Chain A
């Protein structure tokens, strides 16, 4: 359990994310005590007080495991990603934001100026003088800085090397518990870490494979939003009922939690094994269930999906082929 006489070090950091990933880690209940028993938690801003300079002072490679959640949206995120990469032996891209951009990645559809404008000057924001944040500001004690926004949100692996990916928004707690067990075994020398680039804590099939709903021939005349259908058949495939369900393209691992309780899969576990572009796979899946052969009729059915881009790239936009042109954006 000990490495060089002391417990191995553990870190967790959040970049552009909502904090749900940390909640999911705490949702492992008593398993979190195993983390404490087996690791020395050196850096976890959500759970404990720590300063960036403490991390900067650590020896390179001295942290065994870092769970990094959140995408890279500003220069602070980028600094921490590069810093923790240097200090860590195993860097896990943890959660959908780090793996593929997730909801914050949808902001890549808008220019940065529009995003700032929407945040500080919309109908819900009382800002009559149009006061906007400034990158730096002089106070008597010195100059203060806030992080600078990047043009686009990038998934973690476009900024630094990543050893393992753990998808999910957030990753399911039972999957996190299994990964914690695995890493502890690795530390004890009882197991080996999967090869670099592996997806851990998830299945290798699709949500449909885990879904308990009955599947028949899919042939639909209309796409409808789930709230417009009453009642939803509790046992029949949602896609067959005309509800755009993202299950066919989405990686398994969540036990089909949403479809099992009557809500369509929205795709938070990201692309299934072997899928190069999540949206493209979903376009294929939706197209194959449409029961129409003329342009007019197909268009009428497609009108039932009001926001096709958001529908097929809700979690994957920043990680998709087009919004994250990997060759062009690779600036590690």
Chain B
């Protein structure tokens, strides 16, 4: 990534019972971590519908962080395991769509692990910074709009797509 001013936009889905408290703890303990993450509190990581992640990515997020209680410590007994399964399948689907699976991260953090929450967040932001902006769809759409505006090349195959063209 050549753009050194790129600040990733990260959406974080946190569990009410652990990781949201961990972020609270990080705040009250005045720990420093990257400010790029926007947290959304869920009651449980098991509430995380993969739609949330896809919506975030399609609306401009560069990465999504999902956090939940450590395995075996879920407030709702076993819902974080469901989050884990969804996360693993979602990553496979994203890979197929051409999105780096590293853009979605799952972190277990208990309410006492403010420091862990802070360091994981910072590490994730740096990882996304290296990957660069996602720009999903926008790129393509802007190009289509540009071409629509230009009467001479409306919505077409670019000549470069036909590099192999041979005169008949």
By a beta-carbon cutoff of 8 Å, the part of chain A in contact with chain B is: 75, 78, 109, 111-113, 116-117, 121, 129-132, 134-135, 137, 148-152, 276-277, 279-281, 283-284, 286-288, 290, 292-293, 295, 298-299, 302, 305, 307-310, 312-313, 320-325, 327-331
Known contacts A284-B50, A325-B137; A117 and B164 CB within 8 A of each other: yes
Interface pairs A-B: 4 shortest CB-CB: A325-B137, A309-B96, A328-B141, A287-B85
Known contacts A293-B71, A325-B141; A277 and B165 CB within 8 A of each other: no
Q: List 9 A-B contacts (CB under 8 A).
A: A131-B168, A148-B157, A151-B140, A283-B90, A284-B50, A287-B89, A288-B85, A293-B84, A325-B58
Please name all residues of chain A whose beta carbon is closer than 8 Å to the beta carbon of B145 when the two chains form the complex.
331
Please name all residues of chain B whose beta carbon is closer than 8 Å to the beta carbon of A149 when the two chains form the complex.
156-157
Q: Chain B's interface: helix, strand, loop or mixed, by majority? A: helix
Contact B51 A277 (CB under 8 A): yes
Contact A298 B84 (CB under 8 A): yes
Contact A321 B58 (CB under 8 A): yes
Partner of A150, one of B50, B97, B98, B155: B155
Please name all residues of chain A whose beta carbon is closer than 8 Å to the beta carbon of B99 when the two chains form the complex.
322
Given contacts A109-B96, A308-B96, A322-B136, 18 further A-B contacts (CB under 8 A): A109-B97, A113-B161, A113-B162, A113-B164, A116-B157, A117-B164, A151-B140, A151-B157, A152-B140, A281-B51, A287-B89, A293-B84, A299-B88, A302-B88, A325-B137, A329-B144, A331-B141, A331-B144
Contact A308 B140 (CB under 8 A): no
Check if B138 is an interface residue, CB within 8 A of chain A: yes
Contact A151 B96 (CB under 8 A): no
A296: min CB distance to chain B, Å: 10
Q: Total A-B pairs in contact (CB under 8 Å)? A: 151
Please name all residues of chain B whose beta carbon is closer than 8 Å to the beta carbon of A320 when the two chains form the complex.
54
A180: min CB distance to chain B, Å: 34
B154: min CB distance to chain A, Å: 7
Q: Contact size class for B?
A: 35 or more
Contact B154 A151 (CB under 8 A): no
Q: Which of B6-55 contact A (CB under 8 A)?
A: 49-51, 53-55
Docked CA distance A135–B141 (Å) = 23
- As a 0/1 sequence over residues 94 to 124 of chain B, the CB contacts with chain A under 8 angstroms (1 = contact) are 0111110000000000000000000000000
Check if B75 is an interface residue, CB within 8 A of chain A: no
Please name all residues of chain B whose beta carbon is closer than 8 Å to the beta carbon of A324 when the two chains form the complex.
137
Which residue from chain A places its CB closest to the CB of B159 in the assembled complex?
Answer: A135
Please name all residues of chain A whose beta carbon is closer than 8 Å to the beta carbon of B138 when the two chains form the complex.
325, 328
B62: min CB distance to chain A, Å: 14
Known contacts A276-B51, A325-B141, A328-B138; A309 and B166 CB within 8 A of each other: no
Check if B3 is an interface residue, CB within 8 A of chain A: no
Check if B70 is an interface residue, CB within 8 A of chain A: no
Check if B126 is an interface residue, CB within 8 A of chain A: no
Partner of A321, one of B55, B85, B89: B55
Known contacts A284-B49, A308-B89; A321 and B54 CB within 8 A of each other: yes
Contact A322 B57 (CB under 8 A): yes
A209: min CB distance to chain B, Å: 20
Docked CA distance A280–B64 (Å) = 15
Docked CA distance A150–B168 (Å) = 23
